[in-house]
Structure 1
Amino acid sequence: MISLRKGRYAARAARSEDDIAAVQSLRQGRFRSGAAPDLDAFDEQCHHILIEEIKTGVPVCCFRLLSLKSGAQINKSYSSQYYDLERLSGFGGVMAEMGRFCIHPDYTDPDILRVAWGAMTRYVDENGVEMLFGCSSFQGTEAEEYYDTFALLRDRHLAPNRFLPHIKTPENFRFAQRLKRKPDAKRAMKTMPPLLRSYLVMGGWVSDHAVVDRDLNTLHVFTGLEISAIPPARARLLRMGAR
C-alpha cells in the first residue's frame, strides 16, 4: 500500500469512496468543463494515488495505475482505445499504465511532481514493473501552439521502431510526418507538459502522432518508459525520493 510523506505533501493510495470522489473531483477541474465528476469504466480496475497538502488536507495531485502482467494484455489498457499497440504486445515484463495525472491548478510547487514520482517509483519497485506507459496530454485540441514541442519530440524522442504505436483513430496530428520546421527548444520546453518532460529526462519516448481527444479537450501522445533504460544516476535519485 503506497504511503509517502515528503515536506508539505503526502502521497497515499485512495482507500475509500470519499477518496475516489476526491480524485474524480480533482480530475474534473482539469479534464472536464461541466459540473459532473470525471469518471470512466477504467476507474474500477485501477489503483488510485492521491497527494494531499499535509497541513490542510487539500488534494493537490492524483493519478491512477493499471497493472498488466505483460504486453499480451495491452489491449485492456485505456491507451489502446486511441493507438494500435500491437508492437508492444510481445513485451514480456510487467507493465503499468499511468493515467489521468493532474495537479490542482492553484498549486505550482515543483515538490508535488517530485512526490508523485516518488510514489510512482515505489509502486514500480513493489510490483516489479518493467515498463510505464500512458497518454501525455496537452491542453486543448489545436496542435499549432505546440508545433515546437512536437518538432522537438520528432527530432529527439520518437519511440524505437520495435515499440512504435500505429494510428488507430481518424482524428490525429501526424507531427513526425507533417512538421518540417526546426524546433525552438526554449519554446518547446515551455509548452511541454511537466509530466512528459519528466518521462523524457528518464529516457522515455513517444508516438509519432498526437491524438485529438474531443471528450477531454486534449491532444495526447502515447508515452513509454522502459525502467531498465533509466540512467543509473536518475534511478538513484528516484529511489531516494521514494523512501
Structure 2
Amino acid sequence: MLVGWGFGQGLKMPTTPPKGLFAMIDPRGWSSKLPVGIVPLAPHRRLKPALRQRRIENIGLPMTLGRIGSLEVRLAVTARDVKKAQKLRYQVFYEEMAAIPNALSLISRRDRDDYDTLCDHLLVIDHDAPTKLGKPGGRVVGTYRLLRQDVAERHGGFYSTAEYAIEPLIAAHPGRRFLELGRSCVLPAYRNKRTVELLWHGIWTYVLHHKIDVMLGCASLEGTDPSRLALPLAFLHHHAAAEGEWRVKAVPERYVSMNRIAKEGIDVKQALHALPPLIKGYLRLGATFGDGAVVDHQFGTTDVLVVLPIEKISARYVDHFGAGAERHAA
C-alpha cells in the first residue's frame, strides 16, 4: 500500500494506504473492537492526567526530537496536541480513505479511541504552515501512535491481540521490551522523503531512549479475498516467515492460511511486484511475518503481522539515522 521505500530512498505515493508498522498512512491499524482484557477508559476525561504521566515517563527526551527545515518532530505534550493528531487522523482515515467512523468520531470529527490515553503521540509539525483556521503557529501534518509494553500491560495488553496471539511471543522474551506502532498518517502534500525521515527519526530516538528491543505491528494488503492475494501471501509464508520463538499466529477465529501456493510454484519477481511497497520496505529492514493473515472487512484489507527485533534491522539503516539518533537532532 505504501509504494517501495526505505530510509534514504525516494518515495512514490500510494493510491491506497497501508496499515501498521512504520506506515505513513494507516487507517486500518486498529479495529473498533477492543481486545479481550482491555480496561475501558474514559479517554477524554482522563487525557490530561495520562499526558502528565507520559511526560514523566519521557523525562530525558528533548522537547524537539528532530528538525528538517520548517518541519519538527516531537511528542504530544498537551491535550490540544493529541486532539490535533486525532483531527489529522480523521481527515486522512475517514474523509480521504472513507473508513467507517463510530458515532463519537463522526460527531467530533476526530479519530479517537481509548488507546489515545495510553499511547505516546509522535507529531510532525510544519511551522511555516498556518493552521486550518489560517492562524500562525504551525500545523500538525503527520502523526504516529506508540504503545510501550510496560504501559500496555498495565491496561490489558496490546491492541494487536484482537488479531494475533502475541502473548506467547512476549512470554518467550521476558527480558525484551516491545513497542507497538500504529495510527500513523500524513497529509497528502507532505507525503515525501522529509516527512518520512522525521517520523523515522522520532521513532528511532524514542526506541533508543526507552531501550526498546522489538517493534511489531500490522501491515495490510488491499482486498478481502485471500485467493486473489495468494501470490504475495504465499511469498511471505515461504520466504519471510518468522521462525521459532518469533513466530506469531493469527487468532483461531480469524486465521486465514497464507500457504496458498507451493514454494516451487512462486515466481519471486512477480510476488515482490505484488507486495505493497511498505511490506517490501519491512523486508529490507529485516522484518519477518506472522503465521496467518486476518481479513478486516470493515476496512477492506487483509492484514499480516510484522515482527522486527531491533538487532535484525539492517546496519545500513542504523547507520543512516545514527546509532545515537543524531542525524536530524535539533
Whole-angstrom distance in 1 between the partners of 2:146 and 2:158: 10
Does structure 2 conserve the Cα–Cα contact (< 8 Å) formed by 1:47 and 1:66? yes
**Matching residue of 1:46:** 119
Please give the residue correspondences for 1:135-154 in structure 2 after superposition, counting only pairs within 5 Å: 135-143=218-226, 146-154=229-237
Change (3 A) 1:25 1:149: farther
Partner amino acid, structure 1, of 2:82: I
Q: Of 73, 77, 80, which aligns to 1:15?
A: 77
Is the counterpart of residue 179 in structure 1 residue 261 in structure 2? Answer: yes
Whole-angstrom distance in 2 between the partners of 1:87 and 1:164: 7
**Matching residue of 2:35:** none
**Range with greater deviation from structure 2 (123-132 or 232-241):** 232-241
Is the counterpart of residue 116 in structure 1 residue 116 in structure 2? Answer: no
**Matching residue of 2:145:** 64
Name the Cα RMSD after superposition.
2.9
Over the matched positions of the two proteins, sequence identity in percent amounts to 23
Please give the residue correspondences for 1:28-39 in structure 2 after superposition, counting only pairs within 5 Å: 28=90, 29-30=92-93, 32-34=99-101, 35=106, 36-39=109-112
Whole-angstrom distance in 1 between the partners of 2:100 and 2:327: 34
Is the counterpart of residue 212 in structure 1 residue 295 in structure 2? Answer: yes
Deviation readout 1:64-93 (Å, 9 max, x if unpaired): 111114998896111112111213322121
Change (3 A) 1:58 1:190: farther
Deviation at 1:128, TM superposition (A): 0.6
> Mind listing any 5+ residue stretches in structure 2 that lack a counterpart?
1-60, 130-137
Please give the residue correspondences for 1:94-243 in structure 2 after superposition, counting only pairs within 5 Å: 94-143=177-226, 146-175=229-258, 177-180=259-262, 181-183=265-267, 185=269, 188-189=272-273, 191-194=275-278, 196-239=279-322, 240-243=326-329
**Range with greater deviation from structure 2 (71-80 or 27-36):** 71-80
Change (3 A) 1:171 1:119: same
Bigger relative contact order (CA 8 A; separation at least 6): 2
Deviation at 1:139, TM superposition (A): 4.3
For the residue of structure 2 that corresponds to 1:51, the secondary structure is: strand
Change (3 A) 1:216 1:19: farther
Change (3 A) 1:52 1:72: closer
Partner amino acid, structure 2, of 1:46: C
Is the counterpart of residue 3 in structure 1 residue 85 in structure 2? Answer: no
Question: Larger Cα Rg: Structure 1 or Structure 2?
Answer: 2
Does structure 2 conserve the Cα–Cα contact (< 8 Å) formed by 1:165 and 1:207? yes
Deviation at 1:37, TM superposition (A): 2.6
Partner amino acid, structure 2, of 1:206: F
TM-score for the superposition, normalised by structure 1? 0.84
Change (3 A) 1:142 1:54: farther
TM-score for the superposition, normalised by structure 2? 0.64
Whole-angstrom distance in 1 between the partners of 2:305 and 2:234: 15
| Structure richer in strand, relative to its length | 1
Deviation at 1:41, TM superposition (A): 1.7
Whole-angstrom distance in 1 between the partners of 2:113 and 2:207: 24
Whole-angstrom distance in 2 between the partners of 1:30 and 1:108: 15
For the residue of structure 2 that corresponds to 1:166, the secondary structure is: coil
Deviation at 1:7, TM superposition (A): 3.5
Deviation at 1:13, TM superposition (A): 0.7
Change (3 A) 1:64 1:189: farther
Does structure 2 conserve the Cα–Cα contact (< 8 Å) formed by 1:151 and 1:183? no
**Matching residue of 1:79:** 160
> Which stretches of structure 1, 4 residues or more, deviate above 6 A after TM superposition?
70-75
Change (3 A) 1:183 1:111: farther
Deviation at 1:151, TM superposition (A): 3.4
Whole-angstrom distance in 1 between the partners of 2:222 and 2:71: 25
Change (3 A) 1:157 1:242: farther
